[in-house]
Structure 1
Amino acid sequence: MFGRLRARILLSAALGLIPLSAQADRFMNLRNEAALARGFGLPALGRAHLAEDKAWILSADLSNEYHASQDGGSALLLDGETARYAIEYRRRIGARMELGVELPLLHQSGGFMDSAIENWHDWFSLPNGGRDEAEQDQYRYRYVESGETLLDVTDRGTRLGEARLLAAWTLGADTALRGAIKLPTGDADRLSGNDAVALSAWLDHAWQRGAWSAYLSGGGLYAAQGEVLREHQRRWVALGGAGLGWQARPALRFLVQLNAHSALYENVEDDVLRRAGLQLGIGAAIRLSPGSEFHIGFQEDPVVASSPDFSLHFALAFE
C-alpha cells in the first residue's frame, strides 16, 4: 500500500515538472468543419506557446453532416461527408515571433459513415434528425428561400481547400496573440472555399497545475464577401474556445475542448443558418517521443446542425 502511494506521489511530481511548452501545450487542431462554415476561415484555437524552432502538424479530419428542414417556400438540405487532409508548418522568427502556413486538401463525397452514425445515435438514445429516412451516402447541399434556389451543390471530388498564412507574437510565458489570413484558393461553386479573403486574430492563454493543463481563447474574424449565400454572410464573427487536459500517464493525455463562434449568416428564413456554432471535442494525445505526439479524437455538435453531426480527428504533431 505504501509502495503504491509513494509511486503515485513520485509520478505526480514528475508530471508537474513537464514543461508546458513541450507537452501539455498541444491540444487537438479542431475547428468547425461544416461545408457552409468552411469559407469563413475559422481558426483552430488553443496554442499559447510558440514553436521552439520549427513545428509541423499533419492532420486528417473526417466530417459527416445531415440536416433537412422545410417551411413554406424555404427548404434547407445539408448532406455530405468531407475528408480534410492538411499540412501545417510553423517556424520561430527571433525571440517573440512565429510565422507559418497551412495547406489543406479536401475529398467531398457521400462518404460511408451514415449508417455508423445512425447506430451511434441509436445506441445512446440520441435523435437521428431524420437521417434514417434519407438517402444513404448522398452528397447534396441545397438552400431554397421564398421559392428561389440560392444554393445547390452535388459535385463530389478531391480538390484544394483554402490555404492559410499564420502568424503569432508571444505576450508572455503562457500567452500568445495569433492571427491568420485565409486565401481564396478554394472553389465556392464546389464548397471547397468562398472565393474571398478572411482575416482572424485571437488570444490563447494556457495554464498547468501538476497533471492538469488548460487553455482559454478569444478573438474574432472578418470575412470579405464571398460567393456562398453571398447576400446573407456576416462579415464579423466572434470566436471563443476552452480546453482541459489530464496527464493520465507520462505518454498519455486525455483532452476535452470546446470551440464556439457567433452566427455566420443573417437575414435567412431558416433558423439553422442563424445559429451560433458550438463544437465539443474529446480525444487523447499519445506521446511518441520528446518532441512528437499523435492525436486522436472526435467532435460533436451540442448546438444541433450548427456544425457536423460527427467528426473524427487524427493528427501527428512534432517539432
Structure 2
Amino acid sequence: MLIRIISLLSGALLMAPVVTVAANDAPIMISNLSPLAALRGLPTQRHADVQLGSIVTVSQSLSNHFTVEESGDESLMLDGQTDVLSASLRYGFNPHWDIEVTLPWVQHSRGFMDPLISDWHAFLGLPNGNREAYPVNELQYRLHQPRHEAALNNRVSGLGDVQVALSRNMSLKEGPQVALSVGMKTATGEEADWLGSGATDYWALARVSGDYSGRVPLVWHGQIGMTRAGVSDLMDLNQKRSLWFGGVSLAWPFRDKWSLLAQIDAHSALGDGNLNALTRPAGILSMALRWHVSPKWTWDLGFSEDLVVESAPDITFMLTARYVASP
C-alpha cells in the first residue's frame, strides 16, 4: 500500500506544469533514526537542481523510540531517545555537478520525552503501545535472534557514519530538473556503541524536482534508489543488504516568507525473520513549517511520525537551518 501511494503521488507530480526550482525550496532533511535503520546508508531527499557555490545545512533531530516485540525465538526492544546533530556541506563546482559531505553527531540516551508522548496519546485517544508497563525514560536497545545478540543500555555519543555523495543534474533546459547521484556511507561511527554499522554502504539514485504554478503554488520533489549495504555485526545473518528507498515531498509557499511542507519517505525491510519491525517496509510522514528569512537563509521546524508502526521512531522533532552561499 505504501509503495502504491508513493507511485501515485510521483505520477501526479510528473504530470504537473513546472518552472525552475530554487535551492531554498528543498525537501525536509529527515531520515529514519530508528536505532537499526539508522545504521544503513539511506540518503535523505534533496532538490535535483545543482547550484554553483556552497550550501550549508545544519539539522538537530530528537527521536523517541518504543518498540517491544517477541515472536518465536526472536525478540526486539528499542526504548530510548536518539539525538542527531547533522552538518552537511554541498559544493557545486560545475553548473551540472556537486559534491556533498554529511557529518552526524549521534547520541543515544534515556531522553525526556516519554511522559509527553504518553500524555499526547491519551489526549488524542490513541493507543500507547503498553508504555505504561515499562519504566519511564529508560535506555534499552536489545536485539535477540538465534545465535545473535546485540544490546545497548548506557548513554553514548560520538561521530556517526559520515556520508559522501556526488550528483549530476541531467536537465538541459528549464522545467523539471532531473539528477542522478551516487554516494557512500563510511564506517566512521563506533559499532559497539550503535553509532555506526561498522561497514561501508553504497547507493545510486535518481531525483526529480519542479514547481506547480496553478492557483495553489506547489514545489515538489521525488527520489528513488537502491543501497548496497555492508555486513553489520549489530544485525544477524538475516539482514538484507540490497535495499530500495524512495520518497516524495511537497512545499506550499502560502506567504512571501513562509512555506508548509509535507513529505513521505520509505525504504525496504531491514531483514528476514519473525519480527515485524525488521521484516516490513518502513514508512515515515513528515511535516514542517519553513521560514524564508532571506534569499540565503531558511529555517525549518517540523516533526515526523511512523506511517508503518514500529518501522521508524514514534516521533521525531527537527530544527534545520540552511544557508546558500554565493558562488
Same fold (TM over 0.5): yes
Contact 1:46 1:242 in 2 (8 A): no
Once the two structures are TM-superposed, the CA of residue 166 in structure 1 deviates from its matched residue by 1.7
Q: Distance in 2 between matches of 1:73 and 1:235?
A: 23
Partner of 2:3: none
State the partner residue of 2:320.
Answer: 315
User: Retained in 2: the 8 A contact 1:145–1:269?
Assistant: no
SS in 2 for 1:105: strand
Runs of 5+ unmatched residues, structure 2 = 1-16
**Residue of structure 1 equivalent to 2:283:** 278
C-alpha contact (below 8 Å) 2:47/2:207 kept by paired residues: yes
Instruction: Report the 3-state secondary structure (helix = DSSP H, G, I; strand = E; otherwise coil) of the residue aligned with 1:306.
Output: coil
State whether residues 19 and 211 of structure 2, in contact with CA within 8 Å, keep that contact through their aligned partners in structure 1: no
CA 1:72 to 1:100, structure 2 compared with 1: closer, same or farther past 3 Å?
Answer: closer
Structure 1: gaps spanning 5 or more residues: 1-15
The CA deviation string for residues 19-48 of structure 1, in whole angstroms up to 9 with x for no partner, is 522432x12111111100111121101321
Cα distance in 2 for partners of 1:171, 1:62 equals: 35
Instruction: Report 1:2-81 matches (<5 A).
Output: 20-24=21-25, 26-81=26-81
Letter in 1 for 2:209: A
Given that residues 51 and 90 in structure 1 are in contact (C-alpha distance below 8 angstroms), is that contact kept between their aligned partners in structure 2?
A: no
Could you tell me which residue of structure 1 aligns to residue 151 of structure 2?
152
Q: With the length of structure 1 as denominator, give the TM-score of the two structures.
A: 0.90
- Specify whether residues 226 and 70 from structure 1 end up closer, same or farther in structure 2 by C-alpha distance, changes over 3 A only: closer
Q: Per the alignment, in what secondary structure is the counterpart of residue 237 of structure 2? A: helix
Aligned counterpart in structure 2 of residue 240 of structure 1, from 229, 246, 266: 246
The one-letter code matched in structure 2 to 1:281 is: S
- Cα distance per residue 1:275-306 (max 9 Å; x no partner): 11000001111101111100111000010000
Please give the secondary structure, in 2, of the residue aligned with 1:289.
coil
Partner SS for 1:247: strand
Q: Is residue 2:178 matched to residue 1:175?
A: yes
Letter in 2 for 1:156: R
CA distance in 1, matches of 2:62, 2:248: 22
1:292 aligned residue: 297
Map 1:101-250 → 2, pairs under 5 A:
101-146=101-146, 150-172=149-171, 173=174, 174-210=177-213, 211-250=217-256
Whole-Å separation in 2 of the counterparts to 1:43 and 1:227: 21
Going from structure 1 to structure 2, the CA distance change for 1:231 and 1:72 (only over 3 Å counts) comes to closer
| Cα distance between partner residues in 1 of 2:19 and 2:255 | 12
Give the Cα separation in 1 of the matches to 2:240 and 2:204.
Answer: 17
Query: Normalized against structure 2, the TM-score is what?
Result: 0.88
Q: Does residue 301 of the first structure (1) align with residue 306 of the second (2)?
A: yes
Looking at CA atoms only, which structure, 1 or 2, has the larger radius of gyration? 1
- Alignment partners' CA distance in 2, 1:312 and 1:163: 22
Q: Give the drift of 1:144.
A: 2.2
Report the Cα offset of residue 257 of structure 1.
0.2
Tell me the alpha carbon deviations over residues 189-223 of structure 1, each in whole angstroms, 9 at most, x when there is no partner: 11111100001121111121232111121111110
Q: 1:291 to 1:17 in 2, by over 3 A?
A: farther
Name 2:9's counterpart in structure 1: none
Counterpart amino acid of residue 297 in structure 1: G
For residues 253 and 87 of structure 2, the distance between their equivalents in structure 1, rounded to whole angstroms, comes to: 27
Greater Cα offset, 186-195 or 304-313: 186-195
**How many residues matched?**
301
